[in-house]
Every structure is written in C-alpha cells, then in structure tokens.
A and B are shown apart, each in its own frame.
Chain A
Amino acid sequence: MEPLLKVSRLRVEFKSDFGKRTVTDDTAFYVNEGETLGLVGESGCGKSVTVHSILGLLPSNGRIVEGEALFDGKDLCKLSEKELDKVRGKDIGMVFQDALTALDPVFTVESQIAEQLRVHLGLGRAGARERTLKLLEEVGIPDPLSAMKKYPHELSGGQRQRVMIAMALSCGPRLLIADEPTTALDVTIQAQIMELIGEIMKKSRMSMILITHDIGLIAQMADRVAVMYAGQIIEEAGVHELFKNPLHPYTRALLQSAPSIEDGDDRVLKAIRGAVPEDYTDITGCRFAERCECAGSGCELRQEFKQREEGHFVRCHLA
C-alpha cells in the first residue's frame, strides 16, 4: 500500500544577512493511512520547519531547495499557492502549539470554523452553523452554543486548543499535523486533549504527525517515531522497537536523560554533555559527534540514513 504522505530528500534553506543556511536536509519519512508518526527532537532541530515546508508555510526567506513530498500522489512542494489552499485545511489539518496566536483574535469561534466549511465544503450559512455546533460538541466544549459566539481570548487555554482541534477536523482531513499540541497546557488538560485526539483517530482512520519534545507523549501516542537532531532525522523505527532497542547514541542518551515519575530514589540521570550546535550547516560528518560518547574514526564522514533492521533506520555508521 502506498503511504498517504511520503517525503524524500527534503532540504530547506533559509537566507539571512550572513548568507544561506541549510536548516533541514536529507529528510525522508512516510505516514501510512491511520497511523501516527511521532516527530521528536529538541528545540531548533527542524521539526516544525519540516512540516511547515511541506505545507508551503515557510517564511519568505525560507525555501525548499530539493526533495519532494507526495501526498496522495501529488507533490506538495510543486503545487502553487492556489492549489495548496485546496489541500491545507481540507485534506491536511493543522493544530499549532499556541492557540492564542493561531486563532484570529478579532473573529468569533463560529466565524473562524464556519469560514473553512463554506470555502472547502461549499456549505451555506445555516449548514455551516449547524456543522460548527456539532464539531464543538464533538471536541467536548461545554455549552457549545454560547462558546460559538465567543472570541478566542474569552476561552481558557484548554478550550482554545479544543477549538483549534475542531477547526483542524472541520473538513474531515486525512492527515492531521499536530505541532506540540499540548506543550502550553497543564498535564491534566494535556491528558484530556490527547485522549480526545486518540478517540478521534480511532473513529476516523485519520493519520497524524505528532511533533513534540515529550518522550512520554511519544511513547503513549505514536505508532512509529522519527528522531531529529540538528536538522536531520537520525533514527526512525516503530515505537516499541525504538524504546527497546535504540540504535543511535543520541536516541539512547535522550531516553536515558528524561526523568520519569516511575524512577526509584537511586536513579542517576545520564546527561548529554555540551549543547546542540548552533550552526550545523558546515558540519559534514555526524552532527552529534562532538557530544557523543561513542564517537571515533569515521564520524567525520557524511552519515547515510540506512536500514539496520526491518523498518529500523539509523544515521550512524557505528550502529
């Protein structure tokens, strides 16, 4: 079966006053129908840039230099703005981290959701209204009738996130991109939102790309996981395989550096020395090498993304 979304050889460049800078390169991943792909990595590693680029949402100084992103047979990187508009919000829904900035402050909840329904699905005023009400009910907003008339600032953080999910789901997307959907929320609210997303996934056979830096969330939600470091995907595997048998030294270190509530008193966290390189454009070899415990000869060479075991890819010659 063809995957729903297949990204290959994707490279994104940003122009600045100091010249060009490659932000992500050699990015390749796929998402099957009904599957959740977890994209995990630290801030600035290129997680968001990757999904923004395939949706044509890069800022004006960024562009895709090479690569393709096949969604349902169409290359998203080659579509015009107009053609992209037909896909964004309809076949691909997005949920962003900060609902307060993602929602328009001067329009009511109803008009923001109804706009999509009228544009993408051609619904009339009354039809859109009815559908909006149903969507808000579905995402568990108490008293949806009065919530519809409210502006984003009148809602709590959790409610705003629910509104964004309702918006993303409004046109029955086949792929949901959730970019840190719960990072700004408290844990009890996060549990509610993730529960909601999980329920919807089960019902609708929708696919999801879940971007997060929370290892726990990945463990609970994802089917497959891609780990990013400094602009590259460095490991990809099924979620059980990745947690049981991480091959890349960075993935291993990452899993060991997260404190867990299930730890005993005697656990010692394994810290990763140093910090993420700020500019990794000129590093030709492994970008993790300077922080890696296993680094040795061969790490200065370009690292290929290779399959080591069935469905388990890694970018490290030592793995």
Chain B
Amino acid sequence: MSDREPLLSVRNLKKYYPVKNSAFLAANRKLVHAVDGVSFDIYEGETLGLVGESGCGKSTVGRQLVGMEQSDGGELFFCGKMLDKAEFKRQRAQLQMIFQDPTASLNPRRRIYDILSDIMVGNGVCTRAEAKERVNGLLKEVGLPENSAERYPHEFSGGQRQRIAIARALSLSPKLIICDEPVSALDMSIQAQILNLLKELQSRLGVSYLFIAHGLGSVRYISHRIAVMYLGKIVELASSAELFKNPRHPYSQALISAVPVADPEKRGVKRMITVGEVPSSIDLPEGCAYAARCPYATERCRRERPELVDINGGEGSRNKHLCACFNMEVAREGVATHEGVIVHEGASAREGAAEEPAVKEGA
C-alpha cells in the first residue's frame, strides 16, 4: 500500500472528567485523565487496533471520534480537512460505530427494517420506495437470512444481532467504522464469524476500522497496525506483526506475555508477570505513568514523561514503530535474555517474595 494522506488524523486528543462530589470549590476539583494527549493516523482500508486494560481510555477515544463525547483538547482531521463543528456535521455519516452489546444498541421495539431504513431515508441515501431493496441488500451483505427485515431484535441470537449492528453501521457507506469491543460479548464460536465478516467487508468495501478491544488475539487477527494505551496515553504503536514480534515498551511486553497461549506444549516458556495494578488516573504521576509497575524504571522515568519516538526509522508514518520509553534498549535486552528483570518495590509487601524475579518459569 502506498503512503497516501491518512483518512483520519487524531492530534493530541484529550478528555478529562471532573471527579464527582469532590469539592464545592471548582479550583479544588480533581480530574480523571481519561485521554491525555493521544495522536494517531488511520489510512484508507486499514484497521488500527487500540488495546489496553479497562479504564485506559480506549473507549473514550472511540466515542470522541464520533462525537459522543466532547473533547477537552486536540484536533481531528478527516480526509485532510479539520473536523470543526460544521465539517463534522457534513462528515458525520462517514463515521459509524459498532458497540459491544448489540442487545443494548438495537431498539427492541422496532423491526430490523425500521431500524435500517430510517437511517437511510433520513440521511437521503434513498427514498422510502427504494428502502426495502436496500435493506435486503444490506442484510444479505452481513449474512443474515432473507426474512430478517420483518423481525425484531430479540428474535435473533447474539451473533446475528451483532450482524444487524454491522449492517446499520454500513447503511450509509461510511469510510470509517469505530468498533468498540465488537466481539467480547459473544461466544467463542461466534467471535470468529464476526471477525471474519469484518475482514471480508473491509476487503470488499475498503472501509477502515478503529478496532478497540482488550482481547489481544482478536486484535492481532484483524489489525494492520496496533496502538497500545496505558492510562490515557499511547505507549507504543507499530504494525501488528512488528508489535507482537518485537514489543519495545515494557508495558506492551508485559501485556503480550500475560496472554495465556493456547498450546500446552508451551508451558515452559518464561513469562513476565507484572506486579501491582493500574494506578488511579486521577492523580497521575509526574513522570511515566507505567513507572510504578515497570521493572526497568529509573529516577528519570519518575521525573520526566517520555514522548513517543520512532525507533524504526521507516519512511512514512505507516511504517513507524513508535514507543514512549526511556529504557527501550534495556527493556529489549531484558526480554531477549530474561535477565535483570526484578520485582519492583510494589510487591515487597508480599513477604518472602522480594527476592523472586519477576520473570518466572511456567509450571
């Protein structure tokens, strides 16, 4: 693929929520730093995966892109134009969303035909007379039986409902679909159906996805590039193959190594076990947000905030491997040799565990 203009550029996106019942004085009010300066590009026909643990702000990013949340800072560029209020209104149809729970995102009182036709007629894509044909075409596209249009959402299984949600997102032929955990509410055997459908639609229609999920397996499967988020910031962004082969940020390394591999023969493989838990995003530490859990953290990490830098030196932003860490080189060696990774002080409360290394051999 050539390195053309990105379809969507996100620059320094921010979202802060005030903490409820904190204080009466606005000056004292504390903020949750849900999204704290996030930048990325999405190209045409591409899937960008956005991964991170719960509360890291990945869903908030997605919701801001479709205008479900107001931003507290940052700029969006869509097809080269800045998305201000007027431009956003013009482009709104081009940005669609698929949610995690299709039972909640479909109106239970309306037939599938109504759900789909109203959007198209309302947006002037087709007339009432043409709607029926368009709806049937959409349903066929997402692999639903022919008589589906006259039925209600509750008559479908979870996987089929997600297909309806996908049909709704496709109804205005958008350029970008934000998929917020589209498969995590579904059964295992159904997840693969939906993932394959999304992939197939992309190759047929050239639509781009922002795929937000915490299941690394499905993100790896569907994404071309992946951004790893931690506490409202992107800590690493690279092509999917590169990220899993050569993760450079200590958090990405820990995240990837924490996923249990579906192969009993690989039990002996050493794993990095991160100690401690995600700190609160209210009082963010001054330095690197991951420093408190990071085995490589130094004094500098606690004082200064690392910025994303390109370590690949590749041409064009699509081939970049961005990582925000001062100790990338140490981290890489740590993974290569599995040495020098020592439990940090957070675990020393556990008696007797202080001398244990953080890298452990599986049983």
Contacts and interface: CB of A to CB of B under 8 A. Distances in A.
12 contacts: A42-B188, A142-B347, A187-B214, A188-B254, A190-B260, A191-B257, A191-B274, A198-B363, A257-B188, A269-B192, A272-B189, A273-B193
A219 B277 contact: no
B241 A265 contact: yes
A219 B274 contact: no
A263 interface: yes
A190 B254 CA distance: 12
A194 B196 contact: no
Contact of B221 (A191, A221, A243, A269): A269
B362 interface: yes
B346 A191 contact: no
Interface string A151-162: 000001011000
A221 B187 CA distance: 21
B196 A254 contact: no
Contacts of A269: 192, 195-196, 221
A235 B256 CA distance: 30
A190 B255 CA distance: 11
Contact of A189 (B160, B277, B360): B277
B280 to A, nearest CB: 10
Interface of B: 53-54, 157-160, 187-193, 195-196, 214-218, 220-221, 240-241, 244, 254-267, 271, 273-275, 277-278, 346-347, 349-351, 353, 360, 362-363
Interface stretch (A47-55, A210-218, A305-313): A210-218
A275 B160 contact: yes
A65 B195 CA distance: 40
Interface residues of A, number: 56
A126 B71 CA distance: 55
Name the prevailing secondary structure of the B interface residues: helix
A202 interface: yes
Interface in A192-249: 192, 194-195, 198, 202, 213-221, 239-240, 243
Contacts of B218: 259
A243 to B, nearest CB: 5
B187 A276 contact: yes
Contact of A188 (B195, B196, B274, B360): B274
Contact of A259 (B220, B265, B277, B349): B220
Contacts of A217: 260
A217 B260 CA distance: 6
Contact of B259 (A142, A187, A240): A187
A289 B3 CA distance: 48
Contacts of A284: none
A21 to B, nearest CB: 18
